[in-house]
Structure 1
Amino acid sequence: MKPWRVAKRTGPLKRKHKRLTFVAIGLGLLAASAGLVLNAFEESIVFFHSPTDFAEKPVSPDRRMR
């Protein structure tokens, strides 16, 4: 059995590898920025208001509730 030969890297990155590295870094930055934005909002993002919420804090009649 011959052992696996490891290719030596002597030149610059191939075009495909550069693109893959660029995309991976871009996706990582996008995920990090989305995480920071969601962390900044914390509890100000509310997807649902229960009836108890409205009973505790009355809402002005001119405010739209969806």
Structure 2
Amino acid sequence: MTRKQKRLASIATILVVIGGAAALVLTALSDSVAYFHSPSDIVAKAPAQSQRIRLGGLVESGSVVRDGSQHVSFKVTDTLESVEVAYTGLLPDLFREGQGVVTEGTLGPDRIFVADTVLAKHDETYMPKEVVDDLKERGLWEDGKGMVSQDTPEAVVTQTSGAGS
């Protein structure tokens, strides 16, 4: 083997090793990826029951039901559709109806979202970026004003501080 062929073989070996390592990392990460869905997305096309997803929207008013000390069920809405969520654990202190929330878990066979994580931001006017983007697409959100009613675009229902930035 000439010197040039040895160098080419070394480079090829290094590229194969790097490619294999990248494939292993991507395979490992794909199992832990949770894609974001709005309630309308889930109602339109339900993900597989074993697929881990994030569900974001507003906690629907009047939907929070506490069964005992740590089991809570509530509905997450995007103003068009609602998805019932079941969660066992301690909720964030600022979790309340009408507030933006992101839950993470899987969709059960009864179409109830079984969450193992519930996230709420410290700012009481917080709205997750994905939810804001989804509401903007439907014309229900205006920058600087927040969420607006479908009936009267001037009526501000919720306001955010920098959620779109």
Alignment counterpart, residue 51 of structure 1, candidates 38, 55, 59: 38
**Aligned equivalents of 1:23 and 1:40: distance in 2?**
26
SS in 2 for 1:44: coil
- Deviation of the 1:29 alpha carbon: 0.3
Pairing of 1:18-33 with structure 2 (within 5 A): 18-33=6-21
Higher relative contact order (CA 8 A, sep 6+): 2
Unpaired runs of 5+ in structure 1?
A: 1-12
- Deviation of the 1:61 alpha carbon: 1.2
Unpaired runs of 5+ in structure 2?
A: 40-54, 57-75, 77-84, 86-102, 104-117, 123-127, 130-165
**Aligned equivalents of 2:7 and 2:36: distance in 1?**
45
Aligned residues: 51
**Aligned equivalents of 1:30 and 1:51: distance in 2?**
37
- Deviation of the 1:33 alpha carbon: 0.2
Please provide the CA RMSD for this pair.
Answer: 2.2
SS in 1 for 2:120: coil
The code of the aligned residue for 2:119 comes to V
Is the aligned partner of 1:39 residue 2:27? yes
Higher strand share: 2
Percentage of pairs with the same residue:
25
